[in-house]
Amino acid sequence: STSWIWKPKLRQSLKVNKQMIGFNDSWDVIIYILENCCTQLDLESVVTHTNFSSDKINKLLHDKLNIGFKELLNRCRVQVARMLVQNYDFNLSELALKVGFSDVNTLIRNYKKYLNTTPHQDKKQSKWPLWPHALLFNYSSKNISYSL
């Protein structure tokens, strides 16, 4: 799993945000997805962890982020993949499995969908490494984005 790379900073950031915006059911779901996005996570795992129905989980995510479970999961995986692409030399098959995608084609398709580039092009165009603490959330615009 790649969570060792980014989980400590993410937890620290979320603790600060929790104090500012208040902890709620949405955060419980989002944090669990973020912490486990590089595993073979599925909606049933989140249902079991949170004791919410799948409909409730999707409603919470749509209300907070305007996206559903699968899209949040894929966006998170792509963001972790991007950090790994820009900082390490993995072959794409290995990278796909490390971030939780079933195969390289799924990784590339989602990379293009959310970043409008391929992992190879992204690595070539990268001017500086993207480190884990760069993964920040912008909930006011209801999307997940990088910030340095």
Mean pLDDT on 44-57? 93
In this structure, are residues 37 and 80 in contact, taking their beta carbons and an 8 Å threshold? Answer: yes
Backbone angles phi, psi at 67, to 5 degrees: -140, 160
Mean pLDDT of the chain: 78
Helix, strand, or coil (residue 138): strand
- The pLDDT value recorded for residue 147 is 35
pLDDT in tens, 82-103: 989 988 888 999 999 999 999 9
Distance in angstroms (rounded) separating the CA atoms of residues 16 and 21: 9
- The pLDDT value recorded for residue 113 is 96
pLDDT at 73 over 90: yes
Structure tokens at 8: 């400590």
pLDDT at 133 over 70: no
Backbone angles phi, psi at 2, to 5 degrees: -100, 0
